[in-house]
Amino acid sequence: MMVPARFGTWPITIRVALATAGLMVLFGLVASQQVLSTLGRLQDARLQEYARLHVEGLAVALGPFALHKDVWEVYDTLDRARANASGERILFTVVADERGSVLAATDPMRAPVDSAVAAFADDAVPVGEVTAANGTSVVRVMAPLSVQGREVGQIVTELDVNDLVEQRRAAALALLAGNATATLILVIAGYAVVARMLKPVELLASHMGEAGGAPQAIPETAIPRSDSVLTKLLRNFNEMAGAIGARTEAERRLAERERFVSLGRLSSSLAHEINNPLGGLLNATDTIRSYPDRPDVVRESADLLDRGLRHLRDVSRAILEENRVDRSGRPLSGTDFEDLRLLFEPETLRRRQQLEWDIGVGDDILRRLPSAPVRQIALNLLLNASSAAPNGGSVSFTLREEEGHLNLSVKDDGPGLSEAARSRLMSEAPVVPGGGVGLRLVRDLVADLGGVIACGQSETRTEITVSLPWEGNSAC
């Protein structure tokens, strides 16, 4: 069964046309009612005037005859009145005495002498109340017969009002046809006018919805050349689209800069990490040259060279992996966190900090998330935690899977986040000038992955937890 869409979801051009039609119908009903009411009052006034002249004339002529119950004179007067009456509106007239007995009638077969006039007087109305508005083609009028203030009988007359009823019906049909025609014309005209007026708005909406929701500038040739409000709106939209594009590019450059800043902060520690093995490797080569005839010394020096070269290989591989341009399309794996530890551990050694590292999730879960943003989130939080922790303090990194989410937790024993840092990490408010953009980058990356950030603070520890849903993400 099809459920009709709500009126509010229909196109605005259709809604305006239907609203116009509704208002026109309402206005037409009110106006038609006023016209018909005025016509009815005029008809009733003419009908009442006609009935009054008729019964008053009869009353004057019939009064003495009704007083003496002169039936033949009453008949004669009724015949002469019918012959002198203009038109055929008077259909039937009956005269009764004061007791309600018929004296005479224009049709004696319908109202025999001495029959009760009540059969005709029950639905009769006084002259001042006669009307053709009840829709019947015949109405009955009743008036008293008086002689010198004494009521000696009554007159009941049937009037033909079919022409008045037909006039009302014809007027109603004419009004209905006129209102329907006017409503149709106004609806079509309203639809055309509103559609033309809203064309720039539709153009604006289509450009706002393009490219996955990113606003696209409207071509200058498509903007109406006028000074209307809509033209100004379209030009303002183009300015806004340009500003959003510039902001997006600035954010991309900030993110790129933050990545290099993060690597730069690690450079000094990595240089120390590389220089230490190099000194040992050079000593090993000198030993081999000095004692080539001693196999045990050569073997021990070769082992030292092997360990040092492998360590340098791992460090260089981690640096290269962090700078790979195609890493954005690669799924996350446990190797990514081994590289992160290799890159980050020298920073903690330099500051004599204790590093706790616990990866409790396998590759079958990790591969459901992309590598690049998760590595960037973890690296920025680790660098922030190391900066916040004092020399000789501690930093911990934990990775767990729970109910379809990958929970990444970073703890330190620093003083906690400042209000500005917390705002950059947790709020969508504009970044306060000053300070880095690493925490804001973390917030943006987590939002892109559909995750949430929680920040906890105790007396001795600060913990930031990032929860990323892996069910709704796929890096494959």
What is the C-alpha to C-alpha distance for residues 436 and 428, in angstroms, rounded to an integer? 16
- DSSP 8-class letter at 101: B
pLDDT at site 403: 83
What is the C-alpha to C-alpha distance for residues 262 and 269, in angstroms, rounded to an integer? 12
What is the C-alpha to C-alpha distance for residues 140 and 135, in angstroms, rounded to an integer? 13
What is the C-alpha to C-alpha distance for residues 416 and 426, in angstroms, rounded to an integer? 14
List of E strands, 148-235: 150-160
pLDDT at site 399: 92
Q: Residue 2 in 3-state DSSP?
A: coil
Give the pair of three-digit tokens for residue 36: 């018909």
pLDDT at site 258: 60
List, edge to edge, every strand of the sheet that includes 125-126: 102-105, 90-97, 150-160, 138-147, 125-126
Q: Burial, 134: exposed, middle or buried (Cβ in 10 Å; 0-12, 13-18, 19+)? A: exposed
What is the residue type of 124? A
The continuous run of DSSP H or E covering 48 comes out as: helix 12-67
Q: Are 360 and 400 in contact (CB under 8 A)?
A: yes
- The pair phi, psi for residue 305, each rounded to 5°, is -60, -40
What is the residue type of 451? G
Give the pair of three-digit tokens for residue 188: 């079509």
Q: Residue 235 in 3-state DSSP?
A: helix
Profile the chain (476 residues) by mean pLDDT over runs of 10 residues. Answer: 57 74 82 83 84 80 78 80 69 85 84 84 83 82 83 85 85 85 81 74 65 63 67 73 70 63 57 60 72 77 70 63 56 84 79 90 88 84 87 92 90 86 76 59 85 86 90 56
pLDDT at site 278: 66
Q: Residue 143 in 3-state DSSP?
A: strand
pLDDT at site 326: 47
Beta bridge partners of 399: 359, 408
Q: What is the pTM of this model?
A: 0.43
The continuous run of DSSP H or E covering 176 comes out as: helix 162-208
392: left (phi > 0), else alpha (psi -120 to 50), else beta?
Answer: left
Greatest CA span in the chain, whole angstroms? 173
The continuous run of DSSP H or E covering 147 comes out as: strand 138-147
Helix axes 371-388, 229-290, angle to 10 degrees: 70
Residue 119 contacts by C-beta under 8 Å, 6 or more apart in sequence?
none
Give the length of the chain: 476
Domains in the chain: ranges and CATH: 7-173 (3.30.450.20), 324-469 (3.30.565.10)
What is the residue type of 122? D
Give the pair of three-digit tokens for residue 456: 């906890």
Helix axes 334-350, 371-388, angle to 10 degrees: 20
Sign of CA dihedral 389, 394, 397, 403: negative
